[in-house]
Amino acid sequence: MLLLKIPMSITVKFFASLREQVGYNETSINVIKPLTVAEVWAQVCDNAPLPPHILMAVNMEYVTQDKSVQENDEVAFFPPVTGG
């Protein structure tokens, strides 16, 4: 029996200075298996390491880099917020 793996779509957004670094504010990726947030970063940023102190969110909820991402999730990356 042949099992077909249907790709999952994940939306990835970048904000503030990260948007300028990667060159776009949003992209979508299709993956065959669930990824962690860190693996999503690596896939969309040419295997670059996740910078320290980056804030991450899945579906508008803060998460850590080991959070699993599922089909149709929205992953957001943004630099730390400073106040004054």
The radius of gyration of the chain's CA atoms, rounded to the nearest angstrom, is: 14
60 assigned to some structural domain: yes
Q: Which residues contact 46 (CB under 8 A, 6 or more apart)?
A: none
35 assigned to some structural domain: yes
Q: Give the chain's domain count.
A: 1
Instruction: Give the CATH number of the domain where residue 23 resides.
Output: 3.10.20.30
- Compute CA distances 53 → 1, 36, 65, 80, 82, whole Å: 46, 17, 11, 6, 12
At 51 the pLDDT is: 87
Q: Pick the residue with more confidence: 59 or 7?
A: 59
2 assigned to some structural domain: no
84 assigned to some structural domain: no
Paired sense of beta strands 55-58 and 26-31, if any? unpaired
Can you give the residue range of the structural domain that contains 26? 8-78
Q: Pick the residue with more confidence: 19 or 5?
A: 19
3 assigned to some structural domain: no
Phi and psi angles of residue 71, each rounded to the nearest 5 degrees, phi first: -55, 140
Altogether, the residues listed in the chain come to a count of 84
